[in-house]
């Protein structure tokens, strides 16, 4: 990844595409609501919708340097009131400003309450030399049944150009929307665009990428670009969806120096690759450092493990904070080469990745850089000629005759593994024949293993106590180690408890005693958890206890029968549960569920086994997920699999408390 600041800026641009822009108004002109709009209590076009856009209009004028938004929203439920009464507008302070904010609320009886408040401004986030502020205001006296109507304008610097990125689908249904764009005149005002290195080059044309609703088309005329759409379904935000913006209706404008896509990607990739090689050139300082890290008799794998441990251990500003140029200058620091990063023991994620590549090369190995998107945010679209889609750099090193992928920019990522958001991604990589489009490595379920063991004692009155140990490798270990890095161990314990608490039986309390290996990626991460409380339901002579301790409270995945978006389950994984419950005097095992196998081959498989003696119950459960990406038409089979294993996990064991009681 390039820097926190860049991420913030990209998020800002995306937000502007979602909630910005409208025409210049002479005075305050509002749209009078129709009787049907006032009386509306629900919308047949969007059943159960919390609110709907009656109209939405965005206008961008790059000649006059402004974006404007005008919106009319009908509030249909309390949730809609909660979500659409407050308006929040982020912007980059120093180069833009929010102004001309107007609004009014119209009640169902036609009463109009104008907005007379003053928006407040706050710093949303600061990273390096970039500061993102937010203007926020609340619409007056919003009620269920109200129409909220507002407009605002984003004015930006005369030397700045911001062609719109219009994401046509919104979180709620849109009855009608109008978009208008007046582009800057490139022949009169030269526009500079940045390449893969941030270097400015003159643009020579305006390009756009579009995925529009059926029947919709953008019109280009002397007055600019114009698009009108209607009856746009809400952007469905379903669990485990891939990045929605990569699948939604959208129209993205940008200025470019390229004439063809092939020319663009080839040229940008060369620029990026050349900069990687410059930065990662194994200087004398790097060679000296490597000589102190590795031993002469080490194999390539041993050398690389030592280099990886050394580079991943330095301060990663993606997880601490980005330092401004002024701060670096005050400390006498510079960032020009890998040697600078090694000397100051601090760098961002991409710089650390390049340092790792430099050291691997200094150790005599073939090492390459690759740049990819973050799968949780974006998928690469080569039809959209914008290098900024590619965000994070990873490393590829030949070890033992094969290429191995590494993610040293992800603090605490294990040796030879990638963060899940970088797996399976199409990106640009270096090769012996120059940079090429390529796919990052896939993960397997063996890369991400969680083992959960519970050793419990259950008394006749239902009191339970014991210890749970959760051992994690791969993604789950990375998740909690990075959680601790961003906060502290105490907060991480609480967060881990909250997650586990939702999975164990009702009445059981969990308390993390301590972690083992929280900062050591060479070992498995383990959480040791104390268990107390009550477990089981008594009905006369019997007690019913959940058979799957770790899944008793878990909510089943994919309860909905239908789905509109593909499924991305993030990463393959295996979870192995072992549960032992020792029954104290007064209880004995009467029956346990039958062993079960739920196949979903080659995608996944589930197995559970149950055993017992008179006073001990044991359960062994293995759930392995191999394939993580599913098309919408594959959803019924995927849902059926998870419904079956959820039903199996809800089976109970039956305990008898009569025989022991009689003998007593």
Q: What pLDDT band is residue 658 in, cutting at 50, 70 and 90?
A: low
Q: Where are the domains of the chain?
A: 4-257, 264-442, 446-469+532-663
The pLDDT of residue 322: 59
Q: What angle do CA 228, 233, 236 make, to 5 degrees?
A: 135
Query: Are 243 and 373 spatial neighbours (Cβ–Cβ below 8 Å)?
Result: no
- What DSSP letter does each residue of 153-207 carry, written as one string? EEEE-TT-----EEE---SS-EEEEEEEEE---TTTS--EEE-TTS-EEE--EEE
Strands of the sheet containing 652-656, edge to edge, are: 537-539, 542-546, 652-656, 588-591
Dist. CA 56–CA 151, nearest whole Å:
10
Q: Which three-class secondary structure state does DSSP give residue 97?
A: strand
Does the structure show a pLDDT above 90 at 198? no
- Which position has the higher pLDDT, 1 or 64? 64
The kind and range of the H/E element at 640 are: helix 635-649
- CATH number 3.20.20.70 given to 446-469+532-663: no
The pLDDT of residue 660: 42
Instruction: Please list, in sequence order, all residues whose beta carbon lies within 8 angstroms of the beta carbon of residue 505, skipping any fewer than 6 positions away.
Output: 535, 536, 545, 546, 549, 552, 553
Q: What is the mean pLDDT of residues 339-354?
A: 95
The pLDDT of residue 83: 95
- Please tell me the least confidently modeled range out of 92-101, 108-117, 342-351, 491-500: 92-101
Q: What pLDDT band is residue 320 in, cutting at 50, 70 and 90?
A: confident
Taking every pair of Cα atoms in the chain, the longest distance, rounded to a whole number of angstroms, is: 100
**What kind of architecture, by CATH, is found in domain 264-442?**
Roll (3.10)
| pLDDT tens string 473-520 | 999 999 999 999 988 899 999 999 999 999 999 999 999 999 999 999
The pLDDT of residue 95: 85
Q: What pLDDT band is residue 9 in, cutting at 50, 70 and 90?
A: very low
CATH class of 4-257: mainly beta
Q: What pLDDT band is residue 627 in, cutting at 50, 70 and 90?
A: very high
Q: Where are the beta strands (DSSP E) in 464-557?
A: 464-472, 508-516, 525-533, 537-539, 542-546
Dist. CA 382–CA 380, nearest whole Å:
6
Q: What is the mean pLDDT of residues 611-631?
A: 95
Q: What is the mean pLDDT of residues 610-637?
A: 95
Q: What are the structure tokens assigned to 259, written together?
A: 């004439």
The pLDDT of residue 22: 35
Does the structure show a pLDDT above 50 at 26? no
Does the structure show a pLDDT above 70 at 521? yes
The pLDDT of residue 6: 42
Q: Taking phi first (over 0 means left), then psi (-120 to 50 degrees means alpha), and beta for anything else, what does residue 198 get?
A: left
Does the structure show a pLDDT above 70 at 1? no
| pLDDT tens string 262-299 | 999 999 999 999 999 999 999 999 999 999 999 999 99
Does the structure show a pLDDT above 60 at 4? no
Residues paired with residue 283 on neighbouring β-strands, in sequence order: none
- Please tell me the least confidently modeled range out of 241-245, 318-322, 371-375, 530-534: 318-322
Q: Which three-class secondary structure state does DSSP give residue 90?
A: strand
Q: What is the mean pLDDT of residues 417-441?
A: 96
| pLDDT tens string 557-594 | 998 999 988 999 999 999 999 999 999 998 999 999 99
Dist. CA 80–CA 93, nearest whole Å:
30
Query: Are 372 and 392 spatial neighbours (Cβ–Cβ below 8 Å)?
Result: yes
Q: Is the peptide bond before 602 cis (omega within 30 degrees of 0)?
A: yes
Instruction: Please list, in sequence order, all residues whose beta carbon lies within 8 angstroms of the beta carbon of residue 75, skipping any fewer than 6 positions away.
Output: 50, 51, 81, 84, 85, 142, 143, 144, 145, 146, 147, 148
Q: What is the mean pLDDT of residues 180-204?
A: 86
| Radius of gyration of the chain measured on its C-alpha atoms | 29
Instruction: Single out the residue of 177, 180, 149 nearest to residue 163, CA to CA.
Output: 180
Q: Kindly report the backbone phi and psi dihedral angles of residue 371, in degrees, each rounded to the nearest multiple of 5, phi listed first.
A: -120, 130
Kindly report the pTM of this predicted structure: 0.86
| pLDDT tens string 347-381 | 999 999 999 999 999 999 999 999 999 999 889 99
Q: What are the structure tokens assigned to 75, written together?
A: 């509030």
The pLDDT of residue 663: 38
Does the structure show a pLDDT above 80 at 445? yes
Q: Kindly report the backbone phi and psi dihedral angles of residue 37, in degrees, each rounded to the nearest multiple of 5, phi listed first.
A: -65, -40
- Which position has the higher pLDDT, 95 or 645? 645
Instruction: Single out the residue of 447, 399, 401 nearest to residue 422, CA to CA.
Output: 447
Q: What pLDDT band is residue 28 in, cutting at 50, 70 and 90?
A: low
Distance of CA 505 to CAs 536, 609, 653, Å? 8, 19, 13
Instruction: State the chain's mean pLDDT as an integer.
Output: 90
């Amino acid at each position: 990844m390039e820097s926190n600041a860049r991420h913030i800026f990209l998020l800002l641009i995306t937000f502007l595409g979602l909630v910005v822009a409208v025409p210049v108004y002479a005075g305050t002109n509002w749209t009078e609501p129709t009787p049907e709009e006032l009386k509306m209590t629900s919308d047949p076009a969007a059943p159960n919708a919390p609110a709907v856009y009656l109209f939405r209009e965005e206008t961008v004028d790059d000649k006059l340097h402004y974006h404007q938004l005008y919106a009319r929203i009908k509030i249909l439920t309390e949730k809609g009131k909660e979500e659409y009464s407050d308006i929040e507008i982020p912007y980059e302070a120093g180069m833009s400003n929010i102004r001309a904010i107007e609004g009014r609320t119209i009640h169902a009886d036609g009463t109009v309450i104008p907005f007379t408040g003053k928006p407040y401004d706050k710093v949303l986030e600061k990273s390096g030399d970039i500061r993102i502020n937010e203007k926020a205001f609340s619409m007056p006296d919003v009620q269920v049944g109200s129409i909220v109507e507002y407009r605002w304008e984003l004015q930006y610097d005369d030397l700045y150009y911001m062609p719109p990125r219009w994401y046509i689908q919104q979180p709620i249904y849109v009855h009608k929307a109008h978009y208008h764009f007046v582009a800057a005149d490139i022949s009169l005002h030269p526009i500079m665009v940045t390449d893969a290195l941030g270097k400015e080059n003159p643009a020579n044309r305006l390009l756009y990428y579009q995925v529009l609703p059926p029947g919709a088309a953008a019109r280009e005329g002397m007055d600019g670009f114009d698009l009108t759409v209607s009856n746009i379904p809400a952007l469905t935000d379903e669990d485990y969806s891939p990045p929605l913006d990569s699948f939604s209706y959208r129209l993205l404008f940008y200025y470019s120096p390229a004439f063809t896509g092939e020319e663009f990607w080839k040229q940008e990739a060369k620029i990026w690759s050349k900069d990687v090689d410059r930065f990662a050139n194994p200087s004398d300082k790097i060679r000296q450092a490597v000589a102190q890290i590795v031993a002469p008799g080490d194999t390539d794998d041993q050398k690389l493990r030592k280099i990886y441990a050394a580079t991943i251990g330095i301060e990663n500003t993606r997880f601490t904070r980005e330092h401004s140029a002024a701060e670096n200058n005050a400390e006498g620091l510079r960032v020009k080469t890998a040697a600078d990063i090694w000397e100051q023991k601090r760098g961002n994620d991409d710089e650390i990745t390049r340092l790792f590549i430099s050291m691997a090369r200094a150790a005599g190995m073939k090492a390459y850089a690759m740049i990819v998107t973050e799968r949780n945010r974006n998928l690469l679209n080569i039809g959209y000629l914008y290098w900024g889609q590619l965000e994070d750099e990873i490393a590829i090193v030949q070890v033992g005759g094969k290429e191995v992928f590494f993610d040293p920019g992800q603090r605490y990522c294990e040796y030879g593994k990638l963060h899940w958001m970088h797996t399976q991604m199409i990106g640009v990589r270096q090769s012996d024949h120059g940079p090429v489009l390529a796919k990052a490595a896939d993960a397997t379920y063996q890369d991400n293993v969680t083992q959960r063991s519970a050793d419990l004692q259950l008394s006749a009155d239902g009191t339970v106590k014991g210890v749970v140990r959760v051992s994690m490798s791969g993604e789950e270990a990375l998740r909690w180690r990075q959680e601790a890095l961003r906060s502290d161990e105490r907060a991480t314990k609480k967060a881990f408890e909250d997650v586990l608490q939702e999975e164990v039986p009702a009445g059981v309390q969990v308390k993390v005693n301590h972690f083992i290996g929280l900062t050591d990626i060479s070992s498995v991460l383990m959480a040791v958890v104390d268990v107390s409380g009550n477990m089981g339901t008594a009905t006369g002579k019997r007690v019913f206890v959940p058979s799957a301790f770790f899944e008793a409270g878990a909510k089943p995945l994919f309860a909905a029968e239908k789905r509109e978006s593909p499924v991305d389950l993030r990463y393959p994984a295996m979870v192995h549960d072992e549960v032992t419950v020792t029954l104290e005097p007064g209880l004995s095992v009467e029956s346990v569920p039958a062993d079960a196998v739920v196949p979903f081959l080659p995608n996944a498989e589930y197995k559970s086994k149950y055993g017992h003696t008179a006073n001990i119950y044991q359960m062994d459960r293995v759930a392995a997920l191999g394939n993580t990406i599913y098309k919408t038409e594959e959803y019924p089979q995927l849902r059926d699999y998870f419904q079956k294993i959820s039903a199996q996990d809800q089976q109970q064991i039956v305990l008898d408390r009569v025989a022991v009681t009689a003998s007593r």
